[in-house]
């Protein structure tokens, strides 16, 4: 199936590794242009170079160092895509992991930092993204080729996760914002959706497994709790993200889509 991504332009935050990088790989493989961002300049530059090597179109990958939590980051990211490629068709907002701990031990600083990076940074990006793409009701809404914004959230949208209080506190609220904005922006031809990844085999998940003991033993134990009896691969997440961002998903908006192997127990 042709996803209709060729020559479209997408911004991917948190794109230097893990889920963000996997999504960028899937987009580029379908012929899209991608602007990667990450707070670490060396990491995002290296990731962009790796991505460019796999691209069939010269100059299809750009990068910018930015921290989503900085008040000016969203405007800089949107402007970078516009300056480099002259347009912006969508964005994947991946904010990275939240700190682990207990609810009572999580400090005010951890909550404030999480709110800035996870919640407010994503809201700012949505606001600036919409400010750039404008009203697409006459330019894509009828044909399904309008703009698309996807937030990488977490299973905590549906069920609280052990020892991840910031995730439990902020992601459900951000999912509510996605649903609200989907209703507001649908008439303007702009779609918004959320992704709920569980146990995708990224560096972040390996780090979490190592915190709980022997990582191989933890992976085996956790896999038994997943109906498909395995962790997901980053490429599987990337393909799902690319689909939701693409015109092929033209009638999907306001949805929370699990990429979890069936692990989330709620409906």
Q: What angle do CA 107, 108, 114 make, to 5 degrees?
A: 95
Q: Give the whole-angstrom CA distance, residue 112 versus residue 90.
A: 28
Which residues in 12-44 are b (16+ Cβ under 10 Å) and which e? Answer: bbbbbbbbbbbbbbbbbbbbbbbbbbbbeeebb
Asked whether the CA dihedral 209, 211, 212, 213 is positive or negative, the reply is positive
What's the whole-number mean pLDDT along residues 179-200?
96
| Sheet with strand 256-259: strands edge to edge | 61-65, 33-38, 9-12, 90-94, 148-152, 191-197, 256-259
**Rounded percentage of the chain residues whose pLDDT exceeds 70:** 94
Q: What does the pLDDT read at residue 59?
A: 83
The residue range of the domain holding 137 is 9-199+234-259
Q: Please give the pLDDT value at position 137.
A: 61
Helical segments of the chain, H only = 18-29, 41-54, 73-85, 108-114, 121-133, 165-185, 203-211, 215-223, 234-245
Q: Across-strand partners of 256?
A: 194
Higher pLDDT, 182 or 208: 182
Q: How many CB atoms lie within 10 A of CB 201?
A: 18
pLDDT score for 212: 76
* Dist. CA 107–CA 25, nearest whole Å: 36
Residue 211 inside a domain? The answer is no
Q: Is residue 228 part of a domain?
A: no
Average pLDDT over residues 90-95: 92
Q: Work out how many domains the chain is built from and give that number.
A: 1
In a domain, 49, yes or no: yes
Q: Domain holding 179: CATH number?
A: 3.40.50.720
Q: What is the pLDDT of residues 24-67, one digit of tens each?
A: 999 999 999 999 999 999 999 999 999 988 766 668 999 999 99
Mean pLDDT of 215-243: 96
User: pLDDT at position 1, please?
Assistant: 82
- pLDDT for res 47: 94
91 in a structural domain: yes
Q: Quick one: DSSP state of residue 90?
A: E
Tokens of 49: 């170079």
Report if residue 141 sits inside a domain. yes
In a domain, 170, yes or no: yes
């Amino acid at each position: 199936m042709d996803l209709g991504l060729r020559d479209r332009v997408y911004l991917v935050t948190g794109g230097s590794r893990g889920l963000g990088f996997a999504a960028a790989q899937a987009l580029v493989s379908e012929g899209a242009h991608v602007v990667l961002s990450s707070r670490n300049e060396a990491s995002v530059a290296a990731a962009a170079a790796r991505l460019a090597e796999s691209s069939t179109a010269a100059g299809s990958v750009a990068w910018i160092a930015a921290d989503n939590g900085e008040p000016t980051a969203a405007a800089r990211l949107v402007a970078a895509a516009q300056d480099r490629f002259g347009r912006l068709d969508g964005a994947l907002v991946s904010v990275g992991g939240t700190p682990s701990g207990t609810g009572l031990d999580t400090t005010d600083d951890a909550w404030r930092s999480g709110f800035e990076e996870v919640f407010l940074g994503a809201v700012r990006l949505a606001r600036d993204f919409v400010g750039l793409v404008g009203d697409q009701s006459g330019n894509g809404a009828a044909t399904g080729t309008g703009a698309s914004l996807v937030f990488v959230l977490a299973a905590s949208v549906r069920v609280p996760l052990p020892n991840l209080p910031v995730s439990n506190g902020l992601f459900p609220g951000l999912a509510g914002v996605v649903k609200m904005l989907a209703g507001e922006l649908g008439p303007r031809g702009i779609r918004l959706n959320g992704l709920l990844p569980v146990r995708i085999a990224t560096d972040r998940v390996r780090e979490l497994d190592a915190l709980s003991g022997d990582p191989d033993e933890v992976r085996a134990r956790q896999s038994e709790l997943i109906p498909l009896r395995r962790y997901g691969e980053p490429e599987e997440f990337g393909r799902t993200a690319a689909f939701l961002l693409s015109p092929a998903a033209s009638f999907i908006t306001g949805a929370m889509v699990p990429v979890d192997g069936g692990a989330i127990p709620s409906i």
